[in-house]
């Protein structure tokens, strides 16, 4: 039986200087690309896609230990918060509980 350490975090962003969707995308794109390449996490823009000054970016990751998972999440949050052109309004993190362990026969193979 394998114990998985997994989490997903959502970052609610305000982009005060944005005056168009194009400017918003120009501010969000380096965050999404930077997270993907620097931290090797799954990342997507998940909310506020039709608003000029708001964005929501989510990341998901799996690590070999709870400590390493927390370390990566802290680094990811610092990376997002350090962007000069965005304000980090809120961070929400969801953890996969260690007790929700899946064995080899527990996966639904039919979709």
Q: How many domains are contained in the chain?
A: 1
| More confident site: 99 or 25 | 25
Whether the CA torsion 64, 66, 68, 70 is positive or negative: it is positive
Please report, for the domain that includes residue 71, its CATH number: 3.30.70.1120
Find the largest Cα–Cα distance for the chain: 52
**13 found inside a domain:** no
Quick: pLDDT tens for 65-105.
889 999 999 999 999 999 999 999 999 999 987 655 555 55
**100 found inside a domain:** no
Stated pTM of the model: 0.82
């Amino acid at each position: 039986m394998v114990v998985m350490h997994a989490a997903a975090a959502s970052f609610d962003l305000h982009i005060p200087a944005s005056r168009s969707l194009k400017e918003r995308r120009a501010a969000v794109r380096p965050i999404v690309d930077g997270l993907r390449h620097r931290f090797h996490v799954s990342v997507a823009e998940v909310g506020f896609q039709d608003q000029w000054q708001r964005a929501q970016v989510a990341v998901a990751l799996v690590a070999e230990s709870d400590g390493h998972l927390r370390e990566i999440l802290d680094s990811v949050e610092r990376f997002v918060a350090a962007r000069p052109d965005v304000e980090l309004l809120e961070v929400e993190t969801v953890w996969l509980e260690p007790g929700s362990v899946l064995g080899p026969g527990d996966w639904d193979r039919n979709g």
